[in-house]
C-alpha cells in the first residue's frame, strides 16, 4: 500500500512538473533539413528569465504566470517569438540566419550564384563556392562568372580595373563592406584590388537604388561584400597562388574564440608582382609591378542577450609601378628619362556595428561607425598627384514594428539619423583641390510584408549639404510572389540617387595621357533616377529546377558631371551635363542543373548607354553594346574534382575620335566584339585543395593600347583609351589549406 502511495505521488509530481515546464527545440533550416541550434537563448518576453539550449537544440523552462511569450534568439539569426497559452508542447522554434543589424540578408551557401527570391530588392548572391571558381586574386576577378557586373581596365599603365553596373561607371554603384558604405572617394579607382579574394565569404549584387537606410548614393545599384566572420568554423585557412606572369600571393586567416562572449578573426594578405612583362613589345609593361600588404582584424562581442557588437580595423599598404620597361629597369627612377607611373597607397580603416535589442525582439537600435584615412602619392610621367581623404561615418537605425505582427502581416519602421564627414586634400601638379563636408541626414523607411508573397519598402531621406541645401531621396521597392514557394516573382523599383564626384581621383587614369584638363564651373552633386523591373521564374524540368530571370533598368541623369574626351584627343573637358544622359539595361539569365552535378548558366545583356558629349547624344565610349555569358560547372560525385569553364562575349563599342591626330597616332572609332574564356580545375583533398586555371584562355588582347607609346612625353601620348584586356593568356596554380 505504501508503495502504491509513493508511486501515485511520483506520478502526480511528474504530471505537475509536466504542466509547469515547457519543453522544446530550436533549429535552423540548412538545405531543407532541420539542424539543432545548441547554445540558443530562450527567455520570456519582458523578463530576463530564460535558459539556453543543449547540444541537441532542446531546452526546458518553467512556466511563469506573469509572462506568456517566449523568444528564441541566437547570434546571427532572426529571433522568433511564440505565444505560450495556445502553443504546442514541445515547442518548436526554427530560426533563419540573419545578422540583425544587417539590412541585406546574407546567404553564403552553395551553389554558386543565386538569384534571391525573398528580398524586396532584386539581388544576386555570389557565394563562397562561386568565388572559388575564379581563384585569383581579388574583387576584380569575382565577377568573371557574373553577367550583371562588367570589369574593365581603366588605363594601360596602372593595372587598375573598374566595375560597371547597368553599363554605367562603378562610381554610381555603392560599395559596401558588411553593409557599411566603404571604398568611397579616393579609394574609388583601385578599390577592387583592396579586397583579397580569399577574405570574402560572399558578395551581394543589387540592381537599382537600394534602401535609404544606407545613404543617398547607389544610383545604379549596390555591391555588398561579406568578409569571413569571427564566428567562422575555419580555425586556420591558408592560400597560396602563383601565375606565369610572375605574380604570387599569400593569404592566411584564423578565427578563434577569446572568451565565451568574444570571438575574433585575423586576415592577412601579401601579393607581389616583380617581373616585367611586355608581350606586345610596345615598350610598356603589360601589368604594373605591385606589392601589397593587407591586414584585418575583426571582432564579435556578445556580452548579453540585449547587446551585440562587431568591430575591427584594417591596414593596407600598396606600391604600384608601371610605364616603360626602361623606367622600371632603371636603378634611379627619379632621374630616368623614360616614362613611368607610380602610386603609393596607405589606407587605414576602423569600424564598429553595435546592436541593442529590446524585450520585444522586433525592436532594435543599430549604431554604425566607420573611420577611414586614405593617402595616395602618385606620378604619371611628369604629372604629380597627392591626395588625402579623412572620413567619418555614423549611422544609427531604430527598428520598430508599426503594428504588432498579426496573422501574416508584418509592418516595420526603420528611422534614423546619419552623419558623413569627409575631408579631401588633393594636389595635382600646382593645383589644390580641397573639400570638407559635414552632411547630416535623416531617414524613415516603412516595410510591409504579407506572408512570404508580398513585400513593399517605401523610404525617404533628407540630407543637408552646405552646397545644395536639403537633398531629398525617395525610394520604393515592391515584390510580389504568385505562389507560396516563390516560383514566380515580380519586382518593381524606383528611386533617386545622389553623388559628389571627385574629378581628379576618379579620372586619375586620364593622367596617363598628354590630355590637358579644362574645367568649367559645375554644381557639386550629381542627381539621377533609376527605375527597374524584374521577373523571376522557377520551372521544374526532369526533376531539376530551371531558374530564369529577366530584368530591365532605366537610369536617367538630371545632373551629371561629364569628363568629355570626344571634343579633342589632346584635352579633357569637365563640365555639367548639357543635354541627355541615360542608360537602358536589359538582361536575361537562365540557370539549370543539366545533370545532378553539372550546372549551366547562360546570360545575355543589352546595354544602351547614351550621354551627350561634344554637343551630341552618343553611345558612351568603351562600353560594349551587349554582353553574353555561358558557364559550365561540374563536380564529381564526392566533390573531389571540380571543373569550371566560362566564356564571356563582349559586344562592340565606340572609341572617341582621334582623327585630328597624325596618321600613325589615329585609332579606329569603334572596337569589335571579342570573347574571353576562363577555366579552372580544382582537386580537393582532406585538408587542402589544389587548383590550376587560366584567365583569358584564348589570349585576346587590345592591340596597340598606348597611342604614341614611343613618344610618351609628346602631345599625342594616350594610355587611357582602353576597352579590352591588356594581359594575354594567363595560367595560374595554387593551394588552399583549411583546418576546421
Partner 1 sequence: MILVLAIALSVPTLLMAQSKAKSETVTIKTSAICNTCKQRIENDLSFAKGVKKVTLDLKSQNATVLYDPAKTNPDAVRKAITLIGYDADTLTADEKAYNKLPGCCKKDNLPH
Q: Using the rule CB under 8 A, is 108 a contact of partner 1?
A: no
Given 641, 649, 688, 737, the residue binding partner 1 (CB under 8 A): 641
Q: At which residue does the C-alpha cell 604614341 appear? A: 708
CB 670 within 8 A of CB 655: yes
Nearer Cβ to partner 1, position 256 or 482? 256
- The least distance separating partner 1 from the CB of residue 24, rounded to whole angstroms, comes to 16
Contact between 634 and partner 1 by CB under 8 A: the answer reads yes
The reply on whether position 677 binds partner 1 by CB under 8 A is: yes
Kindly indicate which of the ranges 140-148, 227-235, 282-290, 319-327 contains the residues binding partner 1, using the contact rule CB under 8 A.
227-235
Cα distances (Å, whole numbers) of residue 127 to 114, 448, 554: 8, 28, 27
Q: Does 75 bind partner 1 (CB under 8 A)?
A: yes
Q: Torsion angle of alpha carbons 606, 696, 507, 552, nearest 10°?
A: 20
Residue 534 and residue 122 in contact, taking contact as beta carbons nearer than 8 Å: yes
Among 10, 11, 39, 519, binds partner 1 (CB under 8 A): 39
Interacting stretch for partner 1, rule CB under 8 A, among 318-326, 480-488, 551-559, 671-679? 671-679
* Cβ distance to partner 1 smaller for residue 494 or 681: 681
Q: Binding to partner 1 by residue 235, rule CB under 8 A? A: yes
Interaction of residue 592 with partner 1, rule CB under 8 A: no
Q: Contact at 8 Å (CB) between 48 and 61? A: no
Stretch in the footprint of partner 1 (CB under 8 A) among 143-151, 358-366, 615-623, 632-640: 632-640
Q: Name which position in 65, 259, 429, 638 contacts partner 1 (CB under 8 A).
A: 638
- Of 455, 433, 434, 438, nearest to 446 by C-alpha is 455
| Distance in Å, CB of 308 to partner 1, minimum | 12
Residue 544 sits in the site that holds partner 1 (CB under 8 A): no
* Region from 304-312, 330-338, 584-592, 640-648 binding partner 1, contact rule CB under 8 A: 640-648
194 and 294 Cβ atoms separated by less than 8 Å: yes
CB of 635 to partner 1, least distance (A): 9
561: left (phi over 0), alpha (psi -120 to 50) or beta: beta
Spatial distance between the Cα atoms of 395 and 147, rounded to a whole number of angstroms: 32
Please give, one letter per residue, the 3-state secondary structure of 341-359: EEEEEEEEEEEEEEEEECC
What is the number of residues in the chain? 740
Choose among 457, 396, 580, 548: nearest CA to 209. Answer: 457
* 645 near partner 1 (CB under 8 A): yes
* Alpha helices (runs of H) in 21-107, residue ranges in sequence order: none
Spatial distance between the Cα atoms of 233 and 254, rounded to a whole number of angstroms = 9
Q: Which of 467, 640, 703, 704 binds partner 1 (CB under 8 A)?
A: 640
- The mark string for 477-516 relative to partner 1 (x by CB under 8 A, - otherwise) is ----------------------------------------
Residue 47 binds partner 1 (CB under 8 A): no
CB of residue 56 to partner 1, shortest distance in Å: 6
Please give the helix or strand (H or E) that residue 11 lies within, else none. Answer: helix 2-20
- Residue with grid cell 509592418, as numbered in its chain: 411
Q: What are phi and psi of 112, to 5 degrees?
A: -45, -105
Question: What is the rounded distance in angstroms from the CA atom of residue 101 to the CA atom of residue 363?
Answer: 11
Q: Could you say which DSSP state residue 38 is in?
A: T
Q: Which residue has the cell 558578395?
A: 203
Classify residue 461 by its DSSP letter: E
Number of residues this chain uses to bind partner 1 (CB under 8 A): 38
3 state DSSP class of 579: coil
Which CB atom, from 234 or from 614, has the smaller least distance to partner 1? 234
Q: Is 542 in the site for partner 1 (CB under 8 A)?
A: no
Neighbour count for residue 84 (Cβ, 10 Å): 17
| Nearest one of 388, 273, 387, 384 to 322, comparing CA atoms | 273
Q: Does residue 259 belong to the site contacting partner 1 (CB under 8 A)?
A: no
For partner 1, which stretch binds (CB under 8 A), given 30-38, 336-344, 372-380, 542-550?
A: 30-38
Binds partner 1 by CB under 8 A, chosen from 616, 639, 703, 704: 639
How far apart are CB 26 and partner 1 at their closest, in Å?
12
Residue whose C-alpha cell is 580569399? 198
Q: How far is the CB of 108 from partner 1 (least distance, A)?
A: 12
Q: Which of 1, 4, 33, 663 binds partner 1 (CB under 8 A)?
A: 33
Q: Which of 236, 400, 632, 673 binds partner 1 (CB under 8 A)?
A: 632
Residues that bind partner 1 (CB under 8 A): 30, 33-36, 38-39, 52, 54-56, 75, 231, 233, 235, 257, 263, 595, 597-598, 632, 634, 636-641, 643, 645, 675, 677, 679, 685-686, 697-698, 740
Amino acid at each position: 500500500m505504501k508503495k502504491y502511495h509513493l508511486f501515485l505521488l511520483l506520478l502526480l509530481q511528474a504530471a505537475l512538473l509536466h504542466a509547469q515546464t515547457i519543453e522544446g527545440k530550436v533549429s535552423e533550416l540548412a538545405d531543407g533539413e532541420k539542424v539543432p541550434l545548441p547554445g540558443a537563448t530562450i527567455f520570456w518576453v519582458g523578463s530576463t528569465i530564460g535558459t539556453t539550449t543543449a547540444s541537441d537544440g532542446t531546452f526546458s523552462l518553467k512556466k511563469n504566470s506573469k509572462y506568456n511569450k517566449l523568444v528564441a534568439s541566437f547570434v546571427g539569426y532572426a529571433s522568433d517569438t511564440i505565444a505560450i497559452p495556445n502553443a504546442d508542447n514541445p515547442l518548436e522554434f526554427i530560426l533563419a540566419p540573419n545578422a540583425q543589424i544587417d539590412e541585406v540578408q546574407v546567404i553564403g551557401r552553395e551553389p554558386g550564384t543565386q538569384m534571391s527570391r525573398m528580398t524586396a530588392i532584386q539581388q544576386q548572391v555570389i557565394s563562397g563556392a562561386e568565388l572559388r571558381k575564379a581563384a585569383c586574386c581579388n574583387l576584380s576577378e569575382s565577377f568573371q562568372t557574373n553577367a550583371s557586373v562588367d570589369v574593365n581596365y581603366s588605363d594601360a599603365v596602372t593595372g587598375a580595373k573598374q566595375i560597371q553596373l547597368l553599363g554605367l561607371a562603378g562610381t554610381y554603384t555603392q560599395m559596401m563592406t558588411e553593409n557599411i558604405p566603404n571604398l568611397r572617394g579616393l579609394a574609388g579607382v583601385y578599390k577592387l584590388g583592396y579586397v583579397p579574394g580569399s577574405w570574402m565569404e560572399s558578395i551581394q549584387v543589387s540592381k537599382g537604388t537600394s534602401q535609404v537606410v544606407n545613404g543617398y548614393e547607389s544610383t545604379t545599384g549596390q555591391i555588398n561584400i561579406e568578409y569571413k566572420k569571427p564566428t567562422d568554423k575555419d580555425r586556420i585557412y591558408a592560400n597560396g597562388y602563383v601565375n606565369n606572369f610572375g605574380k604570387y600571393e599569400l593569404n592566411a586567416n584564423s578565427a578563434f574564440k577569446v572568451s565565451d562572449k568574444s570571438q575574433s578573426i585575423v586576415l592577412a594578405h601579401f601579393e607581389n608582382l616583380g617581373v616585367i612583362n611586355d608581350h606586345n613589345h610596345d615598350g610598356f609593361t603589360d601589368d604594373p609591378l605591385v606589392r601589397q600588404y593587407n591586414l584585418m582584424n575583426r571582432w564579435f562581442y556578445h556580452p548579453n542577450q540585449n547587446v551585440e557588437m562587431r568591430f575591427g580595423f584594417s591596414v593596407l599598404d600598396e606600391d604600384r609601378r608601371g610605364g616603360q620597361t626602361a623606367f622600371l629597369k632603371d636603378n634611379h627612377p627619379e632621374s630616368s628619362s623614360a616614362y613611368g607611373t607610380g602610386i603609393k597607397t596607405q589606407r587605414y580603416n576602423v569600424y564598429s556595428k553595435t546592436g541593442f535589442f529590446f524585450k520585444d525582439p522586433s525592436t532594435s537600435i543599430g549604431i554604425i561607425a566607420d573611420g577611414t584615412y586614405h593617402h595616395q602619392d602618385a606620378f604619371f610621367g611628369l604629372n604629380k598627384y597627392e591626395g588625402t581623404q579623412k572620413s567619418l561615418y555614423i549611422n544609427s537605425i531604430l527598428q520598430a514594428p508599426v503594428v504588432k505582427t498579426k496573422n501574416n502581416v508584418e509592418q516595420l519602421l526603420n528611422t534614423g539619423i546619419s552623419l558623413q564627414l569627409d575631408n579631401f586634400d588633393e594636389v595635382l601638379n600646382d593645383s589644390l583641390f580641397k573639400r570638407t563636408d559635414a552632411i547630416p541626414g535623416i531617414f524613415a523607411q516603412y516595410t510591409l510584408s504579407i506572408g512570404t508573397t508580398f513585400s513593399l519598402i517605401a523610404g525617404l531621406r533628407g540630407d543637408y549639404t552646405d552646397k545644395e541645401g536639403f537633398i531629398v531621396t525617395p525610394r520604393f521597392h515592391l515584390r510580389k510572389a504568385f505562389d507560396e514557394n516563390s516560383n514566380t516573382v515580380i519586382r518593381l523599383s524606383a528611386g533617386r540617387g545622389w553623388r559628389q564626384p571627385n574629378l581628379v581621383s576618379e579620372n586619375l587614369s586620364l593622367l596617363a595621357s598628354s590630355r590637358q584638363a579644362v574645367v568649367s564651373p559645375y554644381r557639386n552633386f550629381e542627381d539621377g533616377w533609376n527605375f527597374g523591373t524584374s521577373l523571376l521564374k522557377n520551372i521544374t524540368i526532369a526533376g531539376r529546377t530551371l531558374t530564369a530571370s529577366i530584368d530591365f533598368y532605366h537610369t536617367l541623369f538630371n545632373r551629371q558631371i561629364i569628363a568629355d574626351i570626344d571634343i579633342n584627343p589632346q584635352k579633357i573637358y569637365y563640365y555639367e551635363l548639357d543635354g541627355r544622359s541615360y542608360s537602358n539595361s536589359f538582361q536575361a539569365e537562365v540557370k539549370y542543373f543539366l545533370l545532378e552535378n553539372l550546372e549551366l548558366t547562360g546570360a545575355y545583356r543589352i546595354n544602351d548607354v547614351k550621354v551627350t558629349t561634344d554637343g551630341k547624344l552618343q553611345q558612351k565610349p568603351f562600353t560594349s553594346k551587349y554582353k553574353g555569358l555561358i558557364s559550365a560547372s561540374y563536380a564529381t560525385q564526392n566533390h573531389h574534382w571540380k571543373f569550371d569553364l566560362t566564356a564571356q562575349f563582349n559586344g562592340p563599342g565606340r572609341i572617341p575620335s582621334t582623327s585630328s591626330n597624325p596618321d600613325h597616332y589615329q585609332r579606329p572609332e569603334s572596337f569589335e566584339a571579342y570573347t574571353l574564356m576562363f577555366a579552372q580545375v580544382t582537386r580537393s583533398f582532406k585538408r587542402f585543395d589544389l587548383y590550376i586555371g587560366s584567365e583569358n584562355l584564348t589570349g585576346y588582347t587590345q592591340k596597340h593600347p598606348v597611342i604614341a607609346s614611343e613618344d610618351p612625353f609628346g602631345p599625342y601620348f594616350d594610355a587611357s583609351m582602353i576597352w579590352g584586356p591588356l594581359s594575354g593568356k594567363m595560367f595560374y596554380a595554387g593551394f588552399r589549406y583549411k583546418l576546421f
